[in-house]
Amino acid sequence: MRLILAGLLLGGALALMVVLVAWLADRRLERFAAPFLADDPRALPKVDVALVLGAAPIGPEGGPNRYFEYRLDAAAALWRAGKAKYLLVSGDNRRPDYDEPTAMRAGLIKRGVPEAAIYRDFAGVRTRDSVLRARAVFGQQRLIVVSQGFHASRAVFLARREGIETWGLAARDVTRAYSIFTELRRYPSAVRAHLDVWFETPPRHTGPTIAVGVDPPN
């Protein structure tokens, strides 16, 4: 009985330690990114390219994903404010029937952004991949990242730790019930972001370079 109790106590202590480490990792990201984050495009500097991070177009409830829609709203507002000449939409396209970047481009066009101002990165399967490919494939050393605040903070951390001058535009957050999973996922993602920086994790995919503003949009 004592061994069982000791095992339960040890397991609880380890679980608590894991939770604490994840929480501290997330807080560290937020503190690091805070000076570079804004929810108003007018507070941000001008850049050539803004990186819009992908999300599933359809939410768990079967309707439009609010994370997706609010990111596109923010990206279009950034472009209309003249803070970015081009928008690089980066997301997942690992399956033929699932294409975040193309859905993002369509949504931006509906919001008044011309197709000629939108480039697509089909291999943005992770936030780190999107950030590193913005430099390695699309040649950008200076970016504004567009996503919800907690996600933009992580992207700013990852980018600036790699020497990419980056700011973040915090899109409207989601308060609906289905956002709970995304909110909880931020904590292990924060731990992984630190590990990626420490171990210099490369992007999963490389590819031919694309000169934004010179090569035609893909």
Looking at residue 98, what is its pLDDT? 92
Q: 106-120 pLDDT, tens per residue?
A: 999 999 999 999 999
User: Which band of pLDDT confidence, cut at 50, 70 and 90, is reported for residue 4?
Assistant: low
Mean pLDDT across 152-160: 97
Is residue 134 within 8 A of residue 53, CB to CB? The reply is no
Please return the burial class of 82, using the count of CB atoms within 10 Å of its CB with bins 0-12, 13-18 and 19+.
Answer: exposed
User: Which band of pLDDT confidence, cut at 50, 70 and 90, is reported for residue 96?
Assistant: confident
Mean pLDDT across 133-140: 98
Whether the CA torsion 189, 204, 207, 97 is positive or negative: it is: negative
The residues, any chain, with a CB within 8 Å of residue 175's CB and separated by 6 or more, are: none
Whether the CA torsion 209, 212, 213, 218 is positive or negative: it is: positive
Site of tokens 């996922």: 185
Is residue 154 within 8 A of residue 189, CB to CB? The reply is yes
* pTM assigned to the model: 0.91
User: 196-203 long-range CB contacts below 8 Å, 24 or more apart?
Assistant: 196/128, 196/158, 197/157, 197/158, 197/161, 197/162, 201/128, 202/132, 203/123, 203/126, 203/128, 203/129, 203/132, 203/133, 203/136
User: Which band of pLDDT confidence, cut at 50, 70 and 90, is reported for residue 16?
Assistant: low
Any bridge partners for residue 88, and if so which? Answer: 51, 119
CA distances to 78, 130, 169 from 116, rounded to whole Å, are 16, 20, 22
Looking at residue 141, what is its pLDDT? 97
Give me the DSSP letters along 183-208: HHHHHHHHHHHHHHHHHTPPPS----
Q: Domains, the chain, ranges and CATH? A: 2-199 (3.40.50.620)
Looking at residue 91, what is its pLDDT? 96
Looking at residue 135, what is its pLDDT? 97
Mean pLDDT across 177-205: 82
Please return the burial class of 122, using the count of CB atoms within 10 Å of its CB with bins 0-12, 13-18 and 19+.
Answer: buried
Looking at residue 20, what is its pLDDT? 67
The residues, any chain, with a CB within 8 Å of residue 182's CB and separated by 6 or more, are: 67, 174
